[in-house]
């Protein structure tokens, strides 16, 4: 059984006269330690899929099993516990808390975990050791995104969910960020799932999932994924 298993998952939103299916009976599997890329155009359901796996939203029907737990049956309290212990989220627009310094943003998340990775160590790994006392507004976009990744990683979660992590960055900075994410999946054995509409990173994925109109159009496993630096 795969670490993450989605079976016939549907997410519908009511419209004035009908239901709109953002996800329409999706089934897929994702393994631990894999760098998974979900590709698709706008409106294909990528972010919705990520939100469902992350316990930020609830599916209309179907099963989502993570590490043997049925996510769709969890109460709000248990969903929070699930996010707290198992999920690290990286947002397109970083969502760092403007009032906390770079270090404090990471440290506050590490305190939520029973088995955290040292905040300074993670920030150092991200190349932010000289930015510890800076506020988010004093960091560049790439630095903010790396701080956001450090925040997700320091909780030592089993799954890293990244929603368009390079969407607000220039190509070089974006590749730098992706490179960090790819190495995290290997170094820390995390299931790293990156949602993007940038097809150029497809060769770097262990598993590539393509979505269209709320359905899985293609799943492709790369036996020998390329490094991010190789494809840029």
Question: What gap in Å lies between CA 188 and CA 136, rounded to an integer?
Answer: 26
10-69 positions binding other proteins, by CB under 8 A: 47, 51, 54, 56-57
Please pick, from the candidates 10, 95, 173, 222, the single residue that binds other proteins as defined by CB under 8 A.
Answer: 95
Helices (H), 15-137: 46-53, 76-86, 102-110, 119-125
d(CA 200, CA 139): 27
Interface of this chain with other proteins, residues 149 to 168, rule: CB under 8 A: 151, 155
Q: Determine if 214 is a binding residue for other proteins (CB under 8 A).
A: no
Out of 7, 8, 61, 138, the only residue in the binding site for other proteins (CB under 8 A) is 138
Pick from 28, 37, 83, 125 the residue near other proteins by CB under 8 A: 83
CA angle, residues 225, 180, 97, in degrees to nearest 5: 140
Which of helix, strand or coil describes residue 197? coil
Q: How far is the CB of 33 from other proteins (least distance, A)?
A: 22
**Greatest extent of the chain over all pairs of C-alpha atoms, in Å:** 55
Exactly one of 20, 97, 199, 219 binds other proteins (CB under 8 A); which one? 97
Name the nearest CA neighbour of 194 among 40, 12, 8: 40
Q: Judged by CB under 8 A, which of 8, 69, 81, 200 binds other proteins?
A: 81
The stretch near other proteins (CB under 8 A) out of 26-34, 66-74, 109-117, 218-226 is 109-117
Name the minimum Å distance from CB 92 to other proteins: 8
Contact 193, 32 (CB under 8 A): no
Binding mask 165-204 for other proteins (x = CB under 8 A): ----------------------------------------
Of the candidates 147, 141, 107, which has an alpha carbon nearest to the alpha carbon of residue 127? 147
Where would I find the H helices in the chain? Answer: 46-53, 76-86, 102-110, 119-125, 141-154, 171-187, 228-231
For the record, the structure tokens of 92 come out as 């397109």
Shortest separation between residue 174's beta carbon and other proteins, angstroms: 17
Residues near other proteins, by CB under 8 A: 47, 51, 54, 56-57, 76-77, 80-81, 83-85, 87, 89, 91-93, 95, 97-101, 104, 107-109, 111-112, 135-138, 151, 155
């Amino acid at each position: 059984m795969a670490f993450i298993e989605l079976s016939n998952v549907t997410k519908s939103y009511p419209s004035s006269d009908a239901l709109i299916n953002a996800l329409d009976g999706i089934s897929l599997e994702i393994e631990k330690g894999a760098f998974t890329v979900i590709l698709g155009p706008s409106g294909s359901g990528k972010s919705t899929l990520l939100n469902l796996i992350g316990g930020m939203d609830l599916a209309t029907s179907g099963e989502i099993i993570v590490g043997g737990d049925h996510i769709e049956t969890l109460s709000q309290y248990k969903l929070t516990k699930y996010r707290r212990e198992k999920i690290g989220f990286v947002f397109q627009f970083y969502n760092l808390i403007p009032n906390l310094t770079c270090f404090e943003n990471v440290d506050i998340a590490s305190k939520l975990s029973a088995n955290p990775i040292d905040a300074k160590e993670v920030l150092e790994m991200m190349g932010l050791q000289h930015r510890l006392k800076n506020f988010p507004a004093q960091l560049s976009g790439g630095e903010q995104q790396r701080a956001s990744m450090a925040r997700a990683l320091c909780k030592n979660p089993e799954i890293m969910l990244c929603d368009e992590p390079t969407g607000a960055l220039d190509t070089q900075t974006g590749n730098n960020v992706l490179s960090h994410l790819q190495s995290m999946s290997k170094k820390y054995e995390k299931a790293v799932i990156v949602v993007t509409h940038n097809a150029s990173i497809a060769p770097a994925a262990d598993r590539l999932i393509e979505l269209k109109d709320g359905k899985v159009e293609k799943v492709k496993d790369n036996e020998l994924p390329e490094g991010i630096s190789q494809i840029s």
